[in-house]
């Protein structure tokens, strides 16, 4: 060992071997303490640098609007596929035909189904029209019967008036005949007294008797005539009542016919409405044989792969991914971080497949990140125990890449309060949550509100 030390300390040996000057620091002044001091000062300065608190979460690309998400194209009716007009991956425009179906239900197999239903509608309409004509004719008949009844009643009323006058006239004749009979009877009585006294002849008595008998006959005839007139008056009044009853029965029967026809019309109109509804359903169903694209997009995920396959009502046939999408990010945050988020809060994103250099605490120094704002925060917890939030594109930041696709992964960084680094380290060591603060509205937002 002494020999080796002597060799090392020998100046000639150090001049001969260069490795001695490179390995051993003998004869050199150490600067380690200066480096350590500078490093400590730098670390101390770094501890007072500003740090942006943030919440990090994973998410995926989606959209804020439901109609811009992948749409299932379902069949409205059951049927049989007879032709495909597109294949998976094709770009279609709104209204393009995706597939063509044919009927499988026996109720719709008739190729003349619409024409036959239209004929039924026309026949039912003609039936309703006939009943309307019957009602019109019956009402005209009723009007004629009412007029005939009124005329007959007027005729009988006139006859009753005539009989009233005739009764009055016959009663006068009966009174006159009674007076004549009384006078003839008195004359006959006096003539007999005069005959018994010898003052009058038998011929004169017989003449007075004849006059008396004639007056009695006239009196009986006038009474009979008067009674007959009264009987005619009563019969005429009875006939007037019979006419009223007879025509009332006829009118009631006609009104019953009108009500029956109206009932048939109501039934026919109900059947006509049903047939019209069936015709409209058949016409609409005929338009469902062609499945059309609801919007512009790309055809994906076809569930049927051939011709003549049977599909059920409401069964998914293909999926269409819309071409024009207002992208958003769907993220899930922990319940402990939910109170720190609010609508309009800024979020930075890193999209899968797009390179980025990220300093989470210094967003201004990051490269390749994209900006967004919180658009919606759901109030109910999801099945994974976290809360779902939707973040839309920030119009004040650079636009998101157009190459994004639905379902692309994204890492979100919600920016919170600016604090010193030492405070952030102290907070994480103690397990405290980030600081909550209320974002101040900009002048533009204040003016809008």
In angstroms, the CA 331 to CA 368 distance is 19
Is 113-283 a domain of CATH 1.10.287? yes
Span 392-419, pLDDT tens digits: 888 888 888 887 777 788 877 776 666 6
- Model confidence at 433: pLDDT above 70: no
CATH 2.40.50.100 domain position(s) in the chain: 71-98+289-321
pTM tops 0.75, yes or no? no
What is the residue-wise DSSP string for 268-327? Answer: HHHHHHHHHHHHHHHHHHHHTTEEE-SSSEEEE--S--SSS-EE-TT-EEEEEEESS--E
The CATH class of the 71-98+289-321 domain is mainly beta
Reduced to 3 states (helix: H, G, I; strand: E, B; else coil), residue 74 is strand
Q: Which residues contact 307 (CB under 8 A, 6 or more apart)?
A: 81, 82, 83, 84
Q: How many CB atoms lie within 10 A of CB 79?
A: 25
- Model confidence at 313: pLDDT above 80: yes
34 vs 260, residue with greater confidence: 260
Q: How is residue 244 written in tokens?
A: 């009223």
In angstroms, the CA 137 to CA 151 distance is 21
- Identify whether the C-beta of residue 411 lies closer than 8 Å to the C-beta of residue 349: yes
Span 239-288, pLDDT tens digits: 888 888 888 888 888 888 888 888 988 988 898 899 889 888 888 888 88
Q: How is residue 76 written in tokens?
A: 């409205």
| The CATH fold of domain 51-64+326-448 | Elongation Factor Tu (Ef-tu); domain 3 (2.40.30)
At 439, is the pLDDT very low, low, confident or very high (cuts 50, 70, 90)? low
Span 38-65, pLDDT tens digits: 888 888 877 777 766 667 778 888 888 8
């Amino acid at each position: 060992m002494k020999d080796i030390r002597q060799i090392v300390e020998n100046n000639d040996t150090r001049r001969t071997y260069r490795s001695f000057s490179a390995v051993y620091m003998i004869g050199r002044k150490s600067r380690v303490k200066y480096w350590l001091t500078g490093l400590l000062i730098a670390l101390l300065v770094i501890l007072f640098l500003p740090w942006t608190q943030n919440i990090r979460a994973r998410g995926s690309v989606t959209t804020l609007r439901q109609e811009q998400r992948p749409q299932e194209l379902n069949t409205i009716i059951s049927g049989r596929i007879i032709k495909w007009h597109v294949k998976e991956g094709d770009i279609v425009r709104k209204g393009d035909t995706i597939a063509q179906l044919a009927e499988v239900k026996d109720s719709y197999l008739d190729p003349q189904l619409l024409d036959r239903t239209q004929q039924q509608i026309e026949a039912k309409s003609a039936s309703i029209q006939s009943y309307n004509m019957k009602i019109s004719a019956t009402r005209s008949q009723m009007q004629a019967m009412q007029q005939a009844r009124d005329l007959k009643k007027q005729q009988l009323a006139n006859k009753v008036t005539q009989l009233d006058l005739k009764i009055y006239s016959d009663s006068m004749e009966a009174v006159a005949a009674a007076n004549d009979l009384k006078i003839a009877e008195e004359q006959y009585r006096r003539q007999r007294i005069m005959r018994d006294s010898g003052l009058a002849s038998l011929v004169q008595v017989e003449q007075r008797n004849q006059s008396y008998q004639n007056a009695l006959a006239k009196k009986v005839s006038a009474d009979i005539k008067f009674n007959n007139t009264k009987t005619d008056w009563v019969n005429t009044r009875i006939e007037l009542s019979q006419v009223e009853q007879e025509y009332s029965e006829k009118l009631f029967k006609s009104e019953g016919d009108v009500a029956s026809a109206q009932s048939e019309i109501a039934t026919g109109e109900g059947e006509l409405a049903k047939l019209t509804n069936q015709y409209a359903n058949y016409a609409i169903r005929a338009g469902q044989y062609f499945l059309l694209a609801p919007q512009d997009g790309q055809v994906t995920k076809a569930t049927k792969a051939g011709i003549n396959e049977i599909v059920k009502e409401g069964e998914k046939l293909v999926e269409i991914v819309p071409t024009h999408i207002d992208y958003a990010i769907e993220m899930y945050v922990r319940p402990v971080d939910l109170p720190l988020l609010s609508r309009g809060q800024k979020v930075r994103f890193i999209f899968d497949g797009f390179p980025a250099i990220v300093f989470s605490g210094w967003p201004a120094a990051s490269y390749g990140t994209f900006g967004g704002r919180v658009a919606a925060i759901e109030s109910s917890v999801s099945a994974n125990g976290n809360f779902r939030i939707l973040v839309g594109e920030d119009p004040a930041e650079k636009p998101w890449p157009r190459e994004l696709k639905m379902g692309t992964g994204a890492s979100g960084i919600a920016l919170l309060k600016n604090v010193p680094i030492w405070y952030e380290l102290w907070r994480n060591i103690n397990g405290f949550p980030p600081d909550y603060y209320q974002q101040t509205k900009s002048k533009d937002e204040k003016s809008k509100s």
